[in-house]
Structure 1
Amino acid sequence: MQNPPSQSSPGSQYSLLLFLLTLGALVWAGVLLFAGGFTTSIGAGMAFLDWPLSNGSLNPEGWTDNADQMAEHSHRLAGMIIGLLSITLAIAYNRIEKRIWVRRLAYFLLFLVVFQGLLGGLRVRLDHLNTGSDHNLTARSFAIAHAMGAQGVVLTLTSLAVLSAPQWSTSLAAGTGRFLRTFGIATLLLLAVAILIGAVMRHNGAALAIPTFPAASPDGSWIPSSDLFVVWVHFLHRTLGMLGGIGILIYALLSFSKKVWHPYATQFAIAAVLLTCLQIWLGWLILQTARNPHVATLHMLNGAVLLATLWSSILWSTRSRRQES
């Protein structure tokens, strides 16, 4: 029998417009993540005490002349743009995409972006500088939730980018490799927890709580000798990160055995290994530069890219290039 003319999934219809829009939004999400991370790295999250406006304006006077205000307002403007992009994507997917569940994913993205903006706003409005509280635990909690919400936006956009890619619509569903996919998802969740602990670490000023690497104390011990919270949150972040890195390496090695997978699954797995190496080096560099804000921000951004790359590999592992006969 001859191969069917199309191997598209039922109800799917490839659209270059959707793919390019989604890819552009994903790239911009990276820009937004860097802007937000850099704002945190230099401690400029409260450069403006009001929200959603900045000093009561969309274009506050002198914001380009003040480093803290420039970082925070640039972050807010980038957030506005991702909001407009998510609205555009929701409309575009509603009009073009045939798969109902993919359209719903685009709607979820819009909800997540709006919710993410609210989290950022609450982080400002509930800061002790505004409430007069004798502690800042509430604002810090919203800041951590805001940081994790950014990861959710990136993963959702990554999903839409993969699902709208031209190669996705011309491949078949792969029924094999369930165990390896489960292992990959478990590794993804482990990395997500490591990133969560990293956010707790960043917002509690614990980036340099353990100044040595790979040893966890100056005497060369692998276990911290201190009982301070900042030391153990730092230790937990680097430990979970290393375990996640080992999981990625195992996942990538095992992925070579799945010849029926779409080649992108293995290629993204290899990219995840390389990004893991870069992440370890950036983490070490943070210690060597006494937490240079650019290095710290790149470490955070690379973690998000690593998470998205591993998720892309897992998604592509559900596809195969096998042709029906």
Structure 2
Amino acid sequence: MEGATRGSSLIPHPSSFPVWPHRLALLTAICTIPLLFIGGLVTSKGAGLAVPDWPTTFGYNPFLYPWSKMVGNIFFEHSHRLVASGVGFLTTLLAVALWFREPQRWLGWLGAAALALVIIQGVIGGLRVVLVEQTLAVVHACLAQAFFALTVSLALFTSRGWRERPMKLEAADAGRLQRMGVATVGLIYAQVFFGAMLRHTGAMLDMHLVFAFLASLHVILVGLRVFRRHLDQPALFRPALLLNGLLLSQLGLGLGAYLGKFVMTLPATLTVLLRTGHVVVGALMLATSLVVTLRSFGLLVERGPAGQEIATPIALGSGPGRASV
């Protein structure tokens, strides 16, 4: 790397950024995983209407509902509400920390978007119970995964590795990898939608299978491109490797869920775990594919024709400079 210097007067040096926004973003993302699991259990066990009122629980303040009454499916549905409240509280802290402590204003707005999304998600979840509306259940399922992806993005953007990432590298396939990444994220999210439709309405199995194939193909292609051309970039290689490992797990869980639903009778507990695991691993794939894509934009820039200058964006706190691969 030539001509790279630290100390831009326009962007704070990475060491000057607060650490709490990242810690809160990471904690929120981690806590969203068990929330997704419990939410998946609620659907898999058909417990979504076990508590018929909202925002109360059988007339109680939800935080004061007696533990002795949390039996059967009530336990799963009420636990889902309590964990969701905890994630909502963490999201509020995260949004406040980003708004008041984060020097990059766009991250403050992204935190506000996360807070708005978790509020909307809670309201939709409650209305789904009150109105007994399956369409709202599908929307609730899709927004849950979008929220998780957003929290993972916030954890990435506030991380030390992102703030101190090196100068962008010129790569002949940068644009192709970035486009493939965007397509992969879109296909996985479409798969989330069709999966939610299948789980909640029993419809669109054919579309679910078609998009499962397309999403799997793109995950493999992204992995092959990273493995062949960017092995020297751990920030790309590691999540790409994880993404393909998750794909293998997802295919196994999906096959098991399909067999249990359409082909044979499996033990009830195994069926529930297969379906719920399928949902959670799908969310992890969505978030991981997003990390690969965001890092491809953050680390790489398209190499232009010979002799043509490329305006290479500057890393946080860096002065002019460029590098190539």
1:163-312 residue pairs with structure 2 within 5 A? 163-171=157-165, 172-173=167-168, 176=171, 177-204=174-201, 206=202, 230=203, 233-259=204-230, 262-286=233-257, 287-288=259-260, 289=266, 292-312=271-291
Which region of structure 1 is more displaced relative to structure 2, 114-123 or 3-12?
3-12
Alpha-carbon separation, structure 1, partners of 2:295 and 2:45: 38
* 1:35 alignment partner in structure 2: 38
Q: 2:153 aligns with which of 148, 152, 159?
A: 159
* 1:60 alignment partner in structure 2: 65
Distance change >3 Å, CA 262–CA 104, structure 1 → 2: farther
Distance change >3 Å, CA 78–CA 260, structure 1 → 2: same
* Match status 1:49 vs 2:28: no
Cα drift, residue 239 of structure 1: 2.2
1:118-157 residue pairs with structure 2 within 5 A? 118-127=123-132, 139-157=133-151
Amino acid in structure 2 at the alignment position of 1:163: F
* Deviation readout 1:139-176 (Å, 9 max, x if unpaired): 10000000011011111101101101111111134565
Amino acid in structure 2 at the alignment position of 1:114: I
- CA-atom RMSD in angstroms: 2.5
Amino acid in structure 2 at the alignment position of 1:101: W
CA contact (8 A) 2:94 2:111 kept: yes
* Deviation readout 1:155-211 (Å, 9 max, x if unpaired): 11011011011111111345651221111111211111111010000002x3xxxxx
1:95-110 residue pairs with structure 2 within 5 A? 95-110=100-115
Distance change >3 Å, CA 7–CA 246, structure 1 → 2: farther
* Deviation readout 1:224-263 (Å, 9 max, x if unpaired): xxxxxx4xx1222122112201111101111235449842
TM-score by length of 1: 0.82
CA contact (8 A) 2:95 2:112 kept: yes
Amino acid in structure 2 at the alignment position of 1:200: M
Amino acid in structure 2 at the alignment position of 1:293: V
Distance change >3 Å, CA 63–CA 281, structure 1 → 2: farther
* 1:24 alignment partner in structure 2: 27
Alpha-carbon separation, structure 2, partners of 1:102 and 1:261: 29
Identical-pair percentage: 28
Cα drift, residue 89 of structure 1: 0.4
- Return the structure number with greater relative CO, CA threshold 8 A, min gap 6: 2
Alpha-carbon separation, structure 1, partners of 2:152 and 2:252: 25
Q: 1:91 aligns with which of 74, 96, 100?
A: 96
Gaps of 5+ in 1: 128-138, 207-229
Cα drift, residue 6 of structure 1: 5.8
Alpha-carbon separation, structure 2, partners of 1:285 and 1:196: 20
* Deviation readout 1:106-152 (Å, 9 max, x if unpaired): 0000000000001101101111xxxxxxxxxxx10000000011011
Alpha-carbon separation, structure 1, partners of 2:282 and 2:177: 22
Cα drift, residue 99 of structure 1: 0.9
Gaps of 5+ in 2: 261-265, 301-314
Cα drift, residue 318 of structure 1: 2.0
Which region of structure 1 is more displaced relative to structure 2, 165-174 or 118-127?
165-174
Cα drift, residue 319 of structure 1: 2.7
Q: Tell me the matched-pair count.
A: 288
* Match status 1:73 vs 2:62: no
Cα drift, residue 62 of structure 1: 5.4
CA contact (8 A) 2:230 2:236 kept: no
Alpha-carbon separation, structure 2, partners of 1:9 and 1:256: 36
Alpha-carbon separation, structure 1, partners of 2:170 and 2:241: 22
Cα drift, residue 267 of structure 1: 1.4
